[in-house]
Amino acid sequence: MPPTDCWNFTPAREARDWVQRTILAEDGAIHNPDHAHLIDADLEFLWAPRGYQSKMRTVIGTAEEVAFRCSAWQRERQEQQMREWFGRVPKFLITLDASYCTRCEDIEFCALVEHELFHICQARDVFGAPAFLKSGLPRLTIQGHDVEEFVGVVRRYGTGRPDSAVSRMAATARGQPEVGRVEIAGACGTCLLRAA
């Protein structure tokens, strides 16, 4: 749980430790082998005091590869902040909305955390095989959503509330398409040529 008086960004070491024990460890209560590449990852967690609005949605969690694309002083200032929070500049950072996390249900919290973990994936080499660093550790990168959510999160936690976008997408996918092959064939000259 985030601190009850989370007014500023605060390191979430307890969240990081919980993820290691509960999700990443093979004997964890809700272990997920999909995240095996993260076991030794240079990953930290941060509590944000609240979510923010982006593209008409409230963002309650983010996963990012820590990078500073700015002037020398801005970079030094940002690196200093990371060192003050974590003792180093981590490679990856997951930030969670503390206000949401204090009021959501356990299953919603687990789904949020795993959603952000799924954004950090193992990179692929030019042949499509998993890529590794010279040290032997997996080469990690950030990936986008499968659709609006990750298949792994839906597989483990369901589609969420009935009015969620993922629930609506799943219900739509279970239904029949509004436009079928016959209608397309009748509207498309190329399709009619192939049928002839």
CA 57 to CA 88: how far, in whole Å? Answer: 32
Number of domains in the chain: 2
Q: Tens place of pLDDT for every residue, the chain, 196 residues?
A: 888 888 999 999 999 999 999 999 999 999 999 999 999 999 999 999 999 999 988 999 999 999 999 999 999 999 999 999 999 999 999 999 999 999 999 999 999 999 999 999 999 999 999 999 999 999 999 999 888 889 999 999 999 999 888 998 899 889 988 776 666 555 555 554 444 4
Instruction: Supply the pLDDT for residue 126.
Output: 95
Q: Looking at the structure, do residues 115 and 176 belong to the same domain, yes or no?
A: no
Radius of gyration of the chain (CA): 21
CA 124 to CA 18: how far, in whole Å? Answer: 28
| Residue 111, domain extent | 10-142
Instruction: Supply the pLDDT for residue 52.
Output: 95
Instruction: Supply the pLDDT for residue 192.
Output: 47
Q: Looking at the structure, do residues 42 and 84 belong to the same domain, yes or no?
A: yes
Q: What is the pTM of this model?
A: 0.84
Q: Looking at the structure, do residues 53 and 119 belong to the same domain, yes or no?
A: yes
Q: Looking at the structure, do residues 108 and 175 belong to the same domain, yes or no?
A: no
CA 105 to CA 46: how far, in whole Å? Answer: 19
Q: Looking at the structure, do residues 113 and 25 belong to the same domain, yes or no?
A: yes
150 occurs within a structural domain? no
154 occurs within a structural domain? no
The continuous run of DSSP H or E covering 141 comes out as: strand 140-142
